[in-house]
Structure 1
Amino acid sequence: MDSAQIMILTVLVGTVALFLWGRWRHDMVAMASLLMCVVLGLVPTGEAFNGFGHPAVITVACILILSSALQQSGAVDALTRTVLPQSAGPFVTLAALSLLAAILSAFMNNVGALALLMPVALQIANKQGVPPGKILMPLAFGSILGGMTTLIGTPPNLIVSGFRAGLNGSGFSMFDYSPVGIAIALAGLAFVILVGRFLVPTRERAGAEGFETGSYLTEARITEGSKAAGMLLRDINDELEKSDAQVIGLIRNEKRIPAPNPYRELHDNDILLIEAEPEGLASALSGLELTLEAEWRSIQAEAKAKAAEKEKEKDKDKDKDKDKDKDKDDAGTDAKEAATEKVKETTKAQNAKKPDEKVISTGAKPGDEKSPDAEQTAELHKKALQSDDISLIEVVILPNAAFIGRSAADIRIRSHYGINLLAISRQGQRSMSRLRTMKMQAGDVLLMQGSPAAISEFGNRMGCAPLAERALHLGDKSQAFKASAIMAIAIALAAFGIVPAAISFALGVLASLLFGVVAPRTLYDAVDWPVVVLLAALIPVATAMETTGSADLIARFLLETIAQGNAVVAVGLILIVTMTLSDFMNNAATAAVMCPIAIGSAAQLGASSDPFLMAVAIGASCAFLTPIGHQNNTLILGPGGFRFGDYWKLGLPIEIIVVAVGVPMLLWVWPL
């Protein structure tokens, strides 16, 4: 082993370790790996960024844009409306959803396909009284299985095709993946539909209104005159227990107290960090006359704005120099009075007098006979949170969303979008961070308050998908037809070899722009840039593995110690190793790392490289054991109420099926 091999293997081990650690985003790790190879002289400086012009990278970007066009035009909704049964039992519904997800994922981005179908699945689960996870996990696995059936179904297929092109002068065609991919997909789907629902852990939802996503963390302020002021924290918790809620933190004078003493007396303007189920949130707040922190801040800002306007009017009528100090004092008093009055009106909405009824006293202490009924106060508080123009909507953070790693304060969610972040649900974890400063993660479920249009705009820009029931819509029929036709023509051009895939789909993007299917200003929003950078950075690193002979070295070790020179065993070994890595690191990165090893293994055995490369393509797509192995697994983590260890119960049998069906099919379709 020479020095170049030692260096590239060291970089490779470090890169894989960082991928598995998951502390930094995959594109950051890939770029660091590339730059390290350049510094060590393993990748020539002039070739460092050749990966950005690689056909696989261009094709991935174009496919993402065309997939977005199908989604935005309503073409996918039209197909969903046609295919899904309107009234059917859980079995038929599950089968239809899983098959539709697989079909869509074969020709468009599978994360986009799942994001479109997930609200439909949750709506169906709610109507049929089925735990959401029982439908979401088969749906996600179906979308993953469908992606391996075509060249454009998933990025690893494009990467594998690129390595074959570099080796033989031509890559795999559009449907070269179909014989093996369809056989595995059908076997996997059959297992998921017939047996899978019994293996998915049951995560019941506590209420019928919201999707169970675990407990929410909510900030609530004790305003002046509320019944919570002056009470002991112990008494507050006793009241909250009636709504299945509890105080897990206290913020006083902007200082956080993680485990406050239960005998601590609460003061005006203390902020309580409350953990509550979605359906118990309203009653938990109203029972103690607490005000949501986001709502309180909004009221304060509004009052200050009105006071500032009042001050300007006074300045026009009076001498600025003489009455300047007096006007400021008046404005400050007006702001405080206006804010206090607005808060009181909001938190005491239940005092509204109804015809022929007595006024409900809200100043009663716990246990007082005049205390309002819990259901009535919860309903009144819910009305205060929602109106005809304002809604409470749950959204889930998509993988690679712009919101990941940032907080509500970072993006100024209130001032930029006019919406409030009321609560955050992070399954399996409890964060003591302030809501406004909590860093977001993929799969987090957010409870947003605002107009539907504002929340929709926020979701589109920041990468969040709504978890609300939504009616399927046809959109603009002409646009849907154009988007479908453009995608079909691009696929046909690539499938029949008229032009290379990268050119074909780039023409499709250009046509989408010319025909107005995609707006120029939103063109680049559809591209998953972290994936693009990941691919572009790792392609030169993988090339360095080949040129230094490191890939052959690893292949020789695997063949001599495990496969014992048996080609059939070697194909199965490559498939299993790739599949195992893909369960814990990005599938595109896995394919880029394993392709040189697969090529080296074929060379050592004097066999065709095609079955080995195909084994990498299949293994990189089959990540079913963990929520971090594939983006779709992460996407259902919160909405399904899953835990990290829930995936393997269904995922492990599917991976066994992949090996059992995949190896014989590989050797039959792609002989050694």
Structure 2
Amino acid sequence: MSRDQALITGILLATLVMFAWGRWRHDMVAMGALLAAVAAGLVPGAEAFAGFGHAAVVTVACVLVLSSGLQSSGAVDALARVALPRAGRPLVSVAALTALGAALSAFMNNVGALALLMPVAIQLAAREGLPPGRVLMPLAFGSILGGMTTLIGTPPNLVVSGFRAREDGAGFAMFDFAPVGVAVALAGVLFVAVAARWLVPVRERRGADAFDTGAYLTEVRATDDSAAVGMTLREIEQALEADDVQVIGLVRHDVRVGVPPPQHRVQSGDILVIEAGPEGLAATLARLGLTLEEDVPVLGDAAPRAAEAREGGDAAPADDDLVLAEYAVLPGAAVVGRSATDIRLRDRYAVNLLAISRQGRQTIARLRKAKVRPGDVLLLQGSPEAMAEFASQFGCVPLADRTLRLPAARQAWTAAGVMVGTIALSASGLAGSAVAFAGGVLAAMALRVVSPRTVYTAVDWTVVVLLGALIPVAGAMETTGTAELLARLILEQMAGGDAVVALVVILVATMTLSDVINNAATAAVMCPIALQTAGHLSVSADAFLMAVAIGASCAFLTPIGHQNNTLILGPGGFRFGDYWRLGLPLEVIVIAVAVPMLLLIWPL
């Protein structure tokens, strides 16, 4: 191994470790890898940011904008009402919803597709008497599977196409992924819809008539007339034992006692940090005369300030206008890593944070100062308009039934028409994907499907930076001969020189990486290795590149492998180890279907 090969290998290993660790955002890690490669002389300084002009990066950004137009216009909501059965057997309903999620994900951002269908999934679970997780996990997996069926379905496909274009002069066409991708997606959707009944664990289900996000961590205050004043914590827990409520902390004079002794007596003004479900929380307030710490009228000075921040100048909301709603936090949302105090939630938006549902972690110090994490479920109080504005700005999605706000039926048709026209232009070969989708964004802006102000907020810039930074690093793998070295290792030590075995090894290795790091990053790392492996075997590289595309879209074992898995973590009440039960057999099915289809459609 040469010096340059050792350096790029070390940079890649460190990058993968940082991705898996999760302490830093993926775009930060990718940019660090790029700058390290430049500093080591592996990437010329003049070409360091050439990746940001790559067709895959431009296309990803444009697809995200067009997806935003489909969401905001109400086109997806209208499709869901038409496509989903109003009644029927639970298996049929779950299968139909999962299939719809897969179909939408073929042409729009799969996180957006899942976010739009989550309220539908929760209504379906309530209607059929199913635990929410048994609908949410199939939907999340289905929306991931759907992305592998078209060029624009998921960023890894665009990355793979870009590597093919650099190798052969032409990338994959819009529907080149469909023969293998559709076969895998159909088998996967059918499996998860049927097997979810047995393989998805039930977490914290307290009733079939309401959606339960699991236990909330919230704060309640003992006032002068509270029955809890003078009681010991042991007495309080005994009184609330039937309601499955647990006291996990106490705050007195702004000082938190993390593990208060059971004989500790409650005083007026004390704040109890409790873990309770929705029904248990209500019973606690009624039984002991406690009040929610954050449940104060959002009137007075707060509402005018919030109105000014929204440039509306409206009057303060009346008490009757205040409602409770649950919102799930999207991965990469602007609220992640910030607290209600940090964003001045009450002052700016006239919204109260009443509780946080966070599965697997029960160490929130103070509610208003708790840092929000992806997959958390926030219980908010405020006017519907104020909460909708907050959710839109900070990346949260509602979990309850939504009032659909359709600007006009014509706009929904326009949004769908722009997307279909753009796909047709790209598929026809008259324009490259980047040019076609850039034209689609321009048309969407001209037709007012998306406003010029929201174009830039619709783009997930973390993905753009991730791709733009990693593409030159992946190029350094080839120029230093590291990809060739790894390809030889695969051939000699694992595949024994057999092309079919090597194809399976590439697929499984890609799937394994995708379970712990970002899927676009996985594709960028594995494509050079796949190309070199095919070159050493003197076979067509297309099957190997398609194996990378399939494997990169198969992150089913952990909640961190894909954003959709993270998004359902809180609403489904899942734990880290719950995903592999359904995900592992699903990945086996993917391999069993994908390998024969790859050899049939893309012969070696």
How high is the TM-score relative to the length of structure 1?
A: 0.85
Aligned to 2:33: 33
Tell me, in whole angstroms, the C-alpha distance in 2 between the residues paired with 1:301 and 1:459: 22
Is 2:463 the counterpart of 1:531? yes
Tell me, in whole angstroms, the C-alpha distance in 1 between the residues paired with 2:557 and 2:573: 16
Q: Residues 614 and 666 of structure 1 are in contact (CA less than 8 Å); yes or no, is this contact kept in structure 2?
A: yes
Question: Counterpart of 2:363 in structure 1: which amino acid?
Answer: S
Question: Counterpart of 1:443 in structure 2: which amino acid?
Answer: G
Q: Residues 60 and 155 of structure 1 are in contact (CA less than 8 Å); yes or no, is this contact kept in structure 2?
A: yes
TM-superposed CA distance for 1:631, in Å, is 1.1
Which has the higher mean CA deviation after the structures are superposed, 645-654 or 582-591? 645-654
Other structure's SS at 1:294 match: coil
Aligned to 1:506: 438
Q: Residues 210 and 279 of structure 1 are in contact (CA less than 8 Å); yes or no, is this contact kept in structure 2?
A: no
Aligned to 1:612: 544
Aligned to 1:477: 409
Aligned to 2:315: none
- For 1:358-507, what aligned pairs fall within 5 Å after superposition? 388-470=320-402, 475-507=407-439
TM-superposed CA distance for 1:509, in Å, is 0.5
Aligned to 2:229: 229
Aligned to 2:524: 592
Question: Counterpart of 2:93 in structure 1: which amino acid?
Answer: T
* Alpha-carbon displacement from aligned partner over 1:216-266 (angstroms, at most 9, x marks no partner): 111122233433333333323233334321211111121111111222222
Other structure's SS at 1:422 match: strand
TM-superposed CA distance for 1:616, in Å, is 0.3
Is 2:206 the counterpart of 1:206? yes
Tell me, in whole angstroms, the C-alpha distance in 2 between the residues paired with 1:559 and 1:53: 34
Q: Residues 126 and 210 of structure 2 are in contact (CA less than 8 Å); yes or no, is this contact kept in structure 1?
A: no
Aligned to 1:290: 290
Aligned to 1:380: none
Q: Residues 328 and 567 of structure 2 are in contact (CA less than 8 Å); yes or no, is this contact kept in structure 1?
A: yes
Aligned to 2:503: 571
Question: Does the C-alpha gap of structure 1 residues 403 and 210 become closer, same or farther in structure 2, counting only changes over 3 Å?
Answer: farther
Tell me, in whole angstroms, the C-alpha distance in 2 between the residues paired with 1:91 and 1:237: 40
Equivalent residue for 2:559, pick from 606, 627, 630: 627
Tell me, in whole angstroms, the C-alpha distance in 2 between the residues paired with 1:190 and 1:244: 37
Q: Residues 147 and 154 of structure 1 are in contact (CA less than 8 Å); yes or no, is this contact kept in structure 2?
A: yes
Question: Does the C-alpha gap of structure 1 residues 269 and 194 become closer, same or farther in structure 2, counting only changes over 3 Å?
Answer: closer
Is 2:200 the counterpart of 1:197? no
Tell me, in whole angstroms, the C-alpha distance in 2 between the residues paired with 1:629 and 1:595: 19
Equivalent residue for 1:664, pick from 596, 599, 602: 596
Which has the higher mean CA deviation after the structures are superposed, 106-115 or 265-274? 265-274
Aligned to 2:310: none
Q: Residues 180 and 601 of structure 2 are in contact (CA less than 8 Å); yes or no, is this contact kept in structure 1?
A: yes
Q: Residues 216 and 425 of structure 1 are in contact (CA less than 8 Å); yes or no, is this contact kept in structure 2?
A: yes
Aligned to 1:24: 24
Q: Residues 184 and 593 of structure 2 are in contact (CA less than 8 Å); yes or no, is this contact kept in structure 1?
A: yes
Tell me, in whole angstroms, the C-alpha distance in 2 between the residues paired with 1:148 and 1:237: 51
TM-superposed CA distance for 1:667, in Å, is 1.4
Other structure's SS at 1:226 match: coil
Question: Counterpart of 2:428 in structure 1: which amino acid?
Answer: F
TM-superposed CA distance for 1:190, in Å, is 2.2
Tell me, in whole angstroms, the C-alpha distance in 2 between the residues paired with 1:614 and 1:447: 43
Which has the higher mean CA deviation after the structures are superposed, 555-564 or 429-438? 429-438
Tell me, in whole angstroms, the C-alpha distance in 1 between the residues paired with 2:261 and 2:186: 58
TM-superposed CA distance for 1:28, in Å, is 1.1
Tell me, in whole angstroms, the C-alpha distance in 2 between the residues paired with 1:271 and 1:296: 15
Aligned to 2:122: 122
- For 1:223-372, what aligned pairs fall within 5 Å after superposition? 223-296=223-296
Aligned to 1:50: 50
Tell me, in whole angstroms, the C-alpha distance in 2 between the residues paired with 1:127 and 1:472: 19
Which has the higher mean CA deviation after the structures are superposed, 597-606 or 610-619? 597-606
Aligned to 2:454: 522
Aligned to 2:146: 146
Question: Does the C-alpha gap of structure 1 residues 475 and 302 become closer, same or farther in structure 2, counting only changes over 3 Å?
Answer: closer
TM-superposed CA distance for 1:143, in Å, is 1.0
Tell me, in whole angstroms, the C-alpha distance in 2 between the residues paired with 1:151 and 1:79: 22
Tell me, in whole angstroms, the C-alpha distance in 2 between the residues paired with 1:503 and 1:540: 22
Q: Residues 210 and 278 of structure 1 are in contact (CA less than 8 Å); yes or no, is this contact kept in structure 2?
A: no
Q: Residues 150 and 175 of structure 1 are in contact (CA less than 8 Å); yes or no, is this contact kept in structure 2?
A: yes
TM-superposed CA distance for 1:202, in Å, is 2.8
Equivalent residue for 1:540, pick from 465, 472, 483: 472
Question: Does the C-alpha gap of structure 1 residues 66 and 256 become closer, same or farther in structure 2, counting only changes over 3 Å?
Answer: same
Is 2:63 the counterpart of 1:70? no
Larger radius of gyration: 1
Other structure's SS at 2:247 match: strand
Which has the higher mean CA deviation after the structures are superposed, 118-127 or 217-226? 217-226
Aligned to 1:10: 10
Other structure's SS at 1:393 match: strand
Tell me, in whole angstroms, the C-alpha distance in 2 between the residues paired with 1:496 and 1:267: 73
Aligned to 2:314: none
Question: Counterpart of 1:77 in structure 2: which amino acid?
Answer: D
TM-superposed CA distance for 1:432, in Å, is 3.3
Aligned to 1:321: none
TM-superposed CA distance for 1:387, in Å, is 5.5
Q: Residues 302 and 346 of structure 2 are in contact (CA less than 8 Å); yes or no, is this contact kept in structure 1?
A: no
Aligned to 1:59: 59
* Alpha-carbon displacement from aligned partner over 1:540-561 (angstroms, at most 9, x marks no partner): 1001111111111111111110
TM-superposed CA distance for 1:460, in Å, is 0.6
Aligned to 1:188: 188
Aligned to 1:379: none
Question: Counterpart of 1:422 in structure 2: which amino acid?
Answer: L
Unaligned runs of 5+ residues in structure 2 are 306-317
Q: Residues 131 and 208 of structure 2 are in contact (CA less than 8 Å); yes or no, is this contact kept in structure 1?
A: no
Question: Counterpart of 2:565 in structure 1: which amino acid?
Answer: N
TM-superposed CA distance for 1:471, in Å, is 5.2
Tell me, in whole angstroms, the C-alpha distance in 2 between the residues paired with 1:541 and 1:41: 11
Tell me, in whole angstroms, the C-alpha distance in 1 between the residues paired with 2:254 and 2:560: 35
Tell me, in whole angstroms, the C-alpha distance in 2 between the residues paired with 1:609 and 1:467: 44
* Alpha-carbon displacement from aligned partner over 1:8-34 (angstroms, at most 9, x marks no partner): 000011001111111111111111111
Q: Residues 140 and 636 of structure 1 are in contact (CA less than 8 Å); yes or no, is this contact kept in structure 2?
A: yes
Unaligned runs of 5+ residues in structure 1 are 306-385
Tell me, in whole angstroms, the C-alpha distance in 2 between the residues paired with 1:484 and 1:582: 31
Q: Residues 209 and 279 of structure 1 are in contact (CA less than 8 Å); yes or no, is this contact kept in structure 2?
A: no
Which has the higher mean CA deviation after the structures are superposed, 631-640 or 392-401? 631-640
TM-superposed CA distance for 1:475, in Å, is 4.5
TM-superposed CA distance for 1:91, in Å, is 1.5
Q: Residues 220 and 273 of structure 1 are in contact (CA less than 8 Å); yes or no, is this contact kept in structure 2?
A: yes
Q: Residues 77 and 473 of structure 1 are in contact (CA less than 8 Å); yes or no, is this contact kept in structure 2?
A: no
Aligned to 1:347: none
Q: Residues 250 and 260 of structure 2 are in contact (CA less than 8 Å); yes or no, is this contact kept in structure 1?
A: yes
Q: What percentage of aligned pairs have identical amino acids?
A: 62
CA RMSD of aligned residues (A): 1.9
TM-superposed CA distance for 1:185, in Å, is 1.1
TM-superposed CA distance for 1:197, in Å, is 2.9
Aligned to 1:83: 83
Other structure's SS at 2:243 match: coil
The number of aligned residues is: 592
- For 1:650-661, what aligned pairs fall within 5 Å after superposition? 650-661=582-593
* Alpha-carbon displacement from aligned partner over 1:154-202 (angstroms, at most 9, x marks no partner): 0000000011111111111100101111111112122223334332223
Tell me, in whole angstroms, the C-alpha distance in 2 between the residues paired with 1:298 and 1:264: 33
Is 2:482 the counterpart of 1:553? no
Other structure's SS at 1:42 match: coil
